[in-house]
Structure 1
């Protein structure tokens, strides 16, 4: 009897220890606010850190929406609950878990309703397209009346393993369908046999084709082919203002022979978004308004790089290998470029006087502001009307796990970044908001 009682006591203790871990895996679990505001040590602007502990946070990529439809929450990735997505309320700072069972690839927020879309990998290797009713979830989480995840989730359909290529997914402006990458085997079924398939390009051995994009109808789950191309596809994104308009890239991990592309959902209109030369290193395109896409034309390499030995790359100075070709120097125009989807006109809005040049770029939908970071993790704000450029914030540490990836909110009044400024290990990042200063 005594042994039995001891065993029961041990079991009870183990259950008590496991309860927090089990609870934290449930959708809707809340975490206390970590919000704090500090002044940028160089510029004096407010840096509003919505998370401030070393939990491995990272924001959604600039190609996709960051804020929920009501403008109050930002969805992000974190190791607070490994493999799950979280949302932080910009006003209260409270954090809520918004997925359960994991997600794969891109987190995609609706512009029209409080809903999050993503892909989730199944045991058989298929991917299911899931959405979460964030409005209902946040309300139940606040009232402490959480229900099973099926109450909040909608399963829209399944992408077979035989055709899927990860969770690089984007939501159409009409929010009736999503677009996603397909693998080489599937793309080869749809590409014209007369088209020459591209080999790998650059030192990372990426970029080989074929690749392509498919769509899924969110109501029926029906999958349709959009386009097949002779190269590796990456960064699938949509125009949030124009239904059926897709922007994507030739992904090599660096310079591409032709980086930016656009196509309509029926496969028509396939063309380079910006036709580049071998001397231009184009990267990090992001749709910023109904008619415009921001992108970086890099100026990070020495003009005499071809006569020098191949340089060793690092997180602070990547992309220096000679095998990238004769691109990325300042012999040609470089900087934060914005191309018009309708007229195809391109304008360079600004460039840093030295260093790597602007790298990850974005802009406000009203056409007033552009923003970019550089290799030093410094952020620059550009007034597109006056062409004035100022340092917005710095000190985000070159040792950080990733780059700031600045992204405007839909109103053009604030910018979200990810930053290691507060991290003792100089790597772990937090979610940070920088309001555009009123006096700027």
Structure 2
């Protein structure tokens, strides 16, 4: 073979190798990076499940983080651009769990080792993880990304084969549950019903949503300085066994943060997404389209954000108190401590709201969560501190700090299913003060040993 052909073949081989490295293969394994770091302020033991600057980002706090066996944490990463990873909390093993990309939310099942997500047409290359909010694509009403698939991955089989070194092709683990018609404009804002029978997703297609609105419905324009929030949009479902797609409901504003109740089939919570304060942020509806209503009817001075279903009957949310009293700008006169603010919990059944805590100074709570057993609540602030609240006593402690205000994103805390630990993302170890890693901190042992004579209402 001539030297020219040798050089050309070598160049082609190198290009193929780089392409393979760029996309990787499902089941590929990566060296463990796990390390324990003691928080220099609080003394809390921090389990960094990843510790290298690979562009890690946790699943949003509205969704499950752990697999149903409680062993693996699934996360977004740039280790392989556009693919998802899982890390074993005990061994630190890292495994690639997608091969052909995904869009938006990663949805872990409650009672099986299945992972679900939306996959856009393969003509669209996977995008790198930036860590910036929102966690789902910021697609406005009327935009369409073509026909999308909802895909299931059998993580149980994948982890066994990966450990044994017997991983087959992606089709051995991935199953296309169905295809979403392109006119619906599915973009990855998706949630899984607790029965694992249905997935619910945002309909960005303006024409379809318009057809399902009641005649004469006033469409909402963009709200606030980020020029987001205009409608109409809607929600639809897919039967994960048959692939049947049904429209659920249309609203005259932009839907975001679609999530489900992990204990109640067919209960959906979502928001009016404006990129900041909304006229009416939180909403709930049943999967059959009935029961559409505001979750927490807010006043014009309330800045409500980052709602998350935390127990069978409750949703946590932040009533922001991050702006000086007297502020009145493009967002309006809102988000100040002239009115009640803090970590609020709304009961889906009684509709009662209670504020369970607030930071004394600073931004106040920003992203919030609660333990499934109802004992604890937690939240972060602008400084990337993580606070823990005993819901029975009202006691609040600083659990961990030092996660750098320069980080690429907020820490977004989420409780484990057994209510004993919290996963978040942190830039504590990053030399560039921005790149984030996946971290787990336990609820203090002394708190776990507490007993109470009464139950919370």
Sort the TM-score into its range (normalised by shorter chain).
over 0.9
The answer for the alignment partner of 1:269 in structure 2 is 291
The answer for the alignment partner of 1:309 in structure 2 is none
CA distance in 1, matches of 2:403, 2:201: 33
Q: How does 1:20-59 map to 2 (within 5 A)?
A: 22=20, 25-59=24-58
Report how far residue 12 of structure 1 moved.
Answer: 4.6
CA distance in 2, matches of 1:54, 1:360: 24
Does residue 131 of structure 1 match 2:138? no
The answer for the alignment partner of 2:166 in structure 1 is 145
Change (3 A) 1:17 1:203: closer
The answer for the alignment partner of 1:15 in structure 2 is 13
CA distance in 1, matches of 2:210, 2:184: 11
Among candidates 317, 333, 343, match of residue 340 of structure 2? 333
Does residue 343 of structure 1 match 2:361? no
Among candidates 176, 189, 192, match of residue 155 of structure 1? 176
Report how far residue 165 of structure 1 moved.
Answer: 3.6
**What is the aligned length?**
423
The answer for the alignment partner of 2:247 in structure 1 is 225
The answer for the alignment partner of 2:431 in structure 1 is 424
Q: Is the 8 A contact 2:318 2:344 kept in 1?
A: yes
Listed one character per residue, the Cα deviations across residues 234-280 of structure 1 (whole Å, up to 9, x for unaligned) are: 00000010000000001100101100000000111111100100010
The answer for the alignment partner of 1:311 in structure 2 is none
CA-based RMSD: 1.4
CA distance in 2, matches of 1:159, 1:378: 40
The answer for the alignment partner of 2:235 in structure 1 is 213
Does residue 175 of structure 1 match 2:196? yes
CA distance in 2, matches of 1:152, 1:161: 25
- Worse-matched range after superposition: 10-19 or 420-429: 10-19
CA distance in 1, matches of 2:326, 2:348: 34
Report how far residue 439 of structure 1 moved.
Answer: 2.1
CA distance in 2, matches of 1:45, 1:351: 21
TM-score, length-normalised on structure 1?
A: 0.94
| Structure 1: gaps of 5 or more residues | 307-321
The answer for the alignment partner of 1:253 in structure 2 is 275
Report how far residue 374 of structure 1 moved.
Answer: 0.3
Does residue 279 of structure 1 match 2:301? yes
Report how far residue 17 of structure 1 moved.
Answer: 7.5
Report how far residue 21 of structure 1 moved.
Answer: 5.4
Change (3 A) 1:196 1:20: closer
Does residue 389 of structure 1 match 2:411? no
| Structure 2: gaps of 5 or more residues | 124-144, 448-457
The answer for the alignment partner of 1:294 in structure 2 is 316
CA distance in 2, matches of 1:103, 1:92: 26
Report how far residue 8 of structure 1 moved.
Answer: 3.2
CA distance in 1, matches of 2:330, 2:186: 27
